[in-house]
Chains A and B, each alone.
Chain A
Amino acid sequence: MKQIKIDPITRLEGHGKIDIFLNDDGEVANTYFQIPELRGFEQFCVGRPVEEMPRITTRICGVCPEAHHMASAKACDAVFHVEIPPTAKKLRELLYNVFYAGDHTTHFYALGGPDFVVGPDAPKAQRNILGVVAKVGLEVGGKVIEMRRRTQEVIKILGGKNTHQVTSLPGGVSKGINEEERKLIEEHCKWFVDFGKFTIQVFNDIVLKNKAYVDLILSDMFSMKIYSMGLVDEKNRVNFYDGKVRVVDPDGKEFVKYSPNDYLDVVSEHVEPWTYLKFPFLKKVGWKGFVEGKDSGIYRATPLSRLNAADGMPTPAAQEEYDRMYKTLGGKPVHATLATHWARTIELLSAAEMALDLVRDPEITGTNIRAIPTATPTEGVGIVEAPRGTLTHHYITDEKGILRKANLIVGTTNNYAPISLSINKAARGLIKKGTTVTDGILNTVEMAFRAYDPCFGCATHTLPGQMPLVVNIRNKDGEIIQEIKRN
């Protein structure tokens, strides 16, 4: 038995490693995707005042602190049995949609994107955003940096800090916006909508027009027929901030739709001794191991599964793209893991449109932004749809609002079993008897998890803004065939 380690896996948020075991014939015997750490927030938050949780749990993830800030704030509202004023809800939702647009951008261009744009087996020093820029041009790179800058500016206004927001607390938000700020945010949101449309065009041009990529997307080794989960509004349209969680089966039929309070009736978690992360599954179907199909309780909570679980998008331009994607890929539901990237671009556009609607709402500049809780605090569940999946915060407090128990099911955790299975399928599909296992093949295995885990665009450190930059494009022999300069 031969063992191949990929350690650490890269271009994702957090740590992880993959072990691939080959049998004596050189075929894949099994794969293990391990998460090597546990920090223990659920336990060490016990004893903390519950209203501090929206500021503490942001430190679970500095890439999507907004998701924890919101899920936590909603759980706190529930703990205190308080209804927040409409303006406060809209301010939170505005922040959240702007965050979504920015987060999806960085994943698409910097983390998942390089595999498609530069190619999965390009040299590893090129599989990053610089390679993306070389392929699609400097204009795109500049737009990505501008998108990041603009989304961060709006988040700082609404959340107090770029990273680790502070403004949501039980009963509402600590600060509102004035008309001047509203106008500024509106200008940004108009730009976000244009950027969303532009990104969908980029996906069309780079990925969909390349037959090799389309074949990869539709290949059996990157397909998995399991349940799909996502938050929906009252019309069963995709919603990131609020609503009920809907799960559809592998045929697309509604399996369950539940309110946050009922999550324990639907989701359980399985433990394996070889990893620190647990494996959530649908309680009523049961844990059957790393297998697909209707009889297996594993589910996905990703951009693609959110679109599968919903009947449509809440905004018009995103709805058009939603229809086009399903028409192109043969109808709902779609199980092609790599189509998650397409779904992500549709969500990016939807979030941008939603943010524009919210900032134009007359109530957004209202001054009634806080309700002071009066009821005795008890227990509450808050759910939002993080970019990486359904995010559940569940708190139980004493009568003084001191946290006594906490249970968190975090976005990517939902997808741990499907990611493990996707890696296994990709490895089995790529490594056969006699295959020389190259870096490119191992990177293609890594593509199986990158589809799930958005993460952040740190590779944008090489993006051209207003600074001088030279990008050399080389052929396979290393000769420079094109030089792009920006001064």
Chain B
Amino acid sequence: MAKPKLALYWASSCGGCEIAVLDIQEKILDVANAFDIVFWPVAMDFKYDDVRKMEDKSIDLCLFNGAIRNSENAELAHLLRAKSKALVAFGSCAHEGCIPALANLTTKDAILKWVYKDSPSTVSLNGGVYPQTHTKMPEGEIEIPEMWGTVKSLDQVIDVDYYVPGCPPQPFQIWNVIEYILSGKPLPPKGSVLGADDKTCCDECPRERKEKKIKKFFRPYEILPDPNECLLDQGIICMGPATRSGCGALCTKANMPCRGCYGAPPNVVDQGAKMVSALSSVVDSQDPNEIDEILNQIADPLGTFYRFSMAHSILKRVDKI
């Protein structure tokens, strides 16, 4: 019997998700033995045209990582959707936009202006040269994709079957997902989150928690935290209460606060709103003015509470595309 076909692709992402796939170490051989890998640009020399020639639904499983940031990302998302039976939003970028979606806090124009005109090392002649989607050169026309004004998660562009969170997903979680698929068990319901657990990061953090009463917030560089006590108890913003479990609390074990890369916990629609809710119960004051003063110590609430989930949040910008 022919092996099932597997494709891996990255859109707007950093490559960390693919590194994480490798980090399952020798178990990757089970994957190589079980699947016929038909597309993986970072490792193999198959080109886009090879995918275009494939039959629709001929890829059994596609792990798609990266956010949708430009027309090429979207084109490949649609192409791989058409060719795939099961398509997985793999990693935080595809799942919720991740850090590239912090760009939704600024504008495309501001990005282009800084990068190609105002940044101190850039030579800007005649008001600046900006990338164009189509450029006529002496030999003919060449093209680059159109950068979008808004970064989108994968499911805002195509239909997605499953989600694997994490920046990147932890290798042992990736293996759990693959092992499940290889076992031949019935697939979980469409829309399921795989490769993660069903509590919050706090539940897997070994630090001792007490009743939180916070009057002052500290930034991580400002204090030497007690290595055994809850970081939030010590006034350091830690996204643990608003983050899905599954990573093993790696950051807090390294004496640094969680930043929320596994996304919102189960049954939570918006990670940032969940964090606001969590904080509202720990600020040690009943006086509205004092509460304001305490909360104002948080340096960058928007960029911190939505560090990994901006594209998928309930916060939406006015402009489209």
Contact = CB atoms under 8 A, between A and B. Distances in A.
Interface in A39-66: 39-40, 42-49, 51-52, 55-56, 58-63, 65
Interface in A440-487: 443, 455-469
Interface residues of B, number: 91
Interface in A159-173: 159-164, 166-167, 169-171
Contacts of A35: 144
A65 B139 contact: no
A127 B40 CA distance: 13
Nearest to B29: A467
B140 A174 contact: no
A38 B253 contact: no
Interface centre among A12, A163, A401 (most CB of B within 10 A): A163
A409 B111 contact: no
B121 to A, nearest CB: 5
A167 B44 contact: no
Given A271-B122, A456-B22, A44 B142 contact: no
A123 to B, nearest CB: 9
Interface string B39-79: 01111111111000000000000000000011011000000
A226 to B, nearest CB: 19
A171 B221 contact: yes
Contact of A43 (B103, B220, B251): B103
A56 to B, nearest CB: 6
Nearest to A407: B119
A276 B168 contact: no
Interface centre among A52, A169, A272, A465 (most CB of B within 10 A): A52
B311 interface: no
B4 interface: no
A329 interface: no
A39 B100 contact: yes
B253 A51 contact: no
Contacts of B132: 273-274
Contacts of A52: 259, 300, 303-304
A331 interface: no
B182 interface: no
Contacts of A202: none
A302 to B, nearest CB: 19
A74 B242 CA distance: 30
A44 B103 contact: yes
Nearest to B25: A149
A263 B119 CA distance: 13
A8 interface: yes
Interface string A144-183: 0100110010000001111110110111001100000000
Contacts of B220: 51, 169, 174
B19 interface: yes
A56 B47 CA distance: 31
A386 to B, nearest CB: 14
B47 A49 contact: no
Interface string B210-221: 000000000111
Contacts of A10: 41-47
A461 B21 contact: yes
6 contacts: A167-B256, A264-B121, A275-B131, A278-B115, A278-B116, A458-B19
Interface of B: 12-23, 25-33, 37, 40-49, 69-70, 72-73, 98-100, 102-103, 105-106, 110-112, 114-116, 119-124, 128-132, 135, 137-140, 142, 144-145, 147, 167-168, 171, 219-224, 250-251, 253-256, 259, 261, 299-300, 303-304, 307
Interface of A: 1, 3, 6-8, 10-15, 19, 21, 29-30, 32, 34-40, 42-49, 51-52, 55-56, 58-63, 65, 76, 80, 110, 124-125, 127-129, 145, 148-149, 152, 159-164, 166-167, 169-171, 174-175, 263-264, 267-276, 278, 280, 287, 370, 372-373, 394, 400-402, 407, 409, 443, 455-469
Given A456-B42, A458-B19, 6 more contacts: A34-B142, A36-B144, A170-B221, A268-B121, A268-B123, A456-B19
